[in-house]
Chain A
Amino acid sequence: MYEFLFQTVLNALYAASYMALVAVGLVLIFGVMGIINFAHGELYMLGAYAVVGVYADWEYPYFLAVAVGLVFTGLVGIGMERGLFRPMRDNPLGGLVVSIGFLLILQALAVLGFGVRMEFIPPPTQAVIEVFGSDGAVLPLQRLYVILATILLLAALWWFLRRTRFGWALRACAQDPEAAALQGISINQTARIAMFIGAALAGVAGALTAPLVRTYPYMGHSVIVTAFIIIIVGGVGSLEGAVVAAVLYAFVHTFVTTFYDGVIADIVGLLLMLLVLIVRPTGLFGTKERA
């Protein structure tokens, strides 16, 4: 029984990791640009397809494919900032609508390039770490990669935001764009950096989890729903809140899935979000709203 519980905890930790990566990117983009990026789940999908293309089809090493996924989705993010979100600044509804439009385009392009079928990705590693002996809990090495990469990337993001000039500029823009502009901070430059980081985090999450999940053009849908629940529960605009909410949601969802079923778990997650929206719209960690 304890092994079983521990196994579920391990599963939840893995789920929390990639959800946190996606949600933190979404929050970062919202914080700097005031736009909710509905296409964020499709950036995750792009990252997964980078692995399909580079690793599964062209047979380059797996970690090269992950790096390609990170850079590629980051660049797509920069393109989105320039082409879609910059003209829509100060127009939250417009920004949301163009991101929905872009989501449809990315999905259609994935269908065009790879077809609607589910992709087979040969597992990069079959290794399994056994905890509590041979019939105890198991942690596939691939899942450990996801957890470790998340810790590494979030630590790097924290260092970047707190310890570098770019990071300070970014936080200044999130707090008050006008005052930041008056201090000589380029809003466009900052938005570009935020969009690159936010998109790249979603892409790397997709690339890392691609061998573990079902990779198909519409995989972004459940991811964006999850990310919305997390950022609402954590507080829109709060990076710490997103991480905490990701862990909270992952545990609730994993445990309900294990003990009941997946659809009930989805319903519970959505109810959690509705509850937070009703009782405390600013979320667990939100201080002020920017929408």
Chain B
Amino acid sequence: MTSSVGSTTGTAGTGELAGTLEATAAPPPRRPRGRGSALRRQNFATSIRNNFYFVLFVVPLQTALALFLAVLLNNKFLRGRSYFRTAFFFPSVTSSIATTLVFLFLFSGGGAVNQLLGYVGLHGPNWTADPRGVFHQALGAVGVDSTPGWARHEFFNLSWWDWFSGPSIAMIVIITLVVWTTSGTFMLMFLAGLQNINEEVLEASEVDGADAWQRFRLVTLPMLRPTLILVLTLGLISTWQVFDQIYLTGNNPATITPAYLSYNQSFQNSAFGIGAAIAFLLFALIILLAAVQRRLIGTGEDD
């Protein structure tokens, strides 16, 4: 196989994880319109891809975790719930810079997370420096370790193979961090929603023979619908703007997002026109997504 766009050289050759690809490699200058322009397009495509996978993972995870914690804290038979609520909410009030610094340390090569993994016999990656996509990793594990022919075609200066890379391992750190910091806030919203649910309805369903899971799925969840929609909307809007955490991981193609790229182009390359254009596209994307979401699942306002 001839080497294709974005395929790595020997850098990813660690054991069975070998043979993965990454978008970091510069593309061959196929287009005559100039390397600078092609690279910019590729960077933009990469940032959109990174942010897409970020949203795809963070929004469901933070919503599910927040809902789980709220339901857990809503169990009246547990004592000390307000202390635990404080503990779960605390990361939400601290500065994004301070928490990112802590997480970059926890996920460093010899950091706490890898030590924990070591106790159960796993050898963790060098998280924040690892640009490999997790979908590529998974495919590598089942034997697909070179780019399939169809995936070598490019879309917006990024090969299809690279579009389907999944979040990079470095991005997994940011995903974990953001889920950790935002779940507390959304947990409070779910708790407020749970407190509005009429106890009698739950009791009636219990009398009718519904078990705990059925009560949750058929009574609690439908009644939380307005809160759920609110949390999903706020999550979707904020995750497309992720910036502070990305700033701290630096100008790394494995984690750049449109918001960061806009900043980077403007303030580090003095290309304010390009930076403003990226910002405008991001703005349009967020407004569009919010509008589509509203259209699809309703406004969720019940009063």
Are A and B subunits of one complex? no
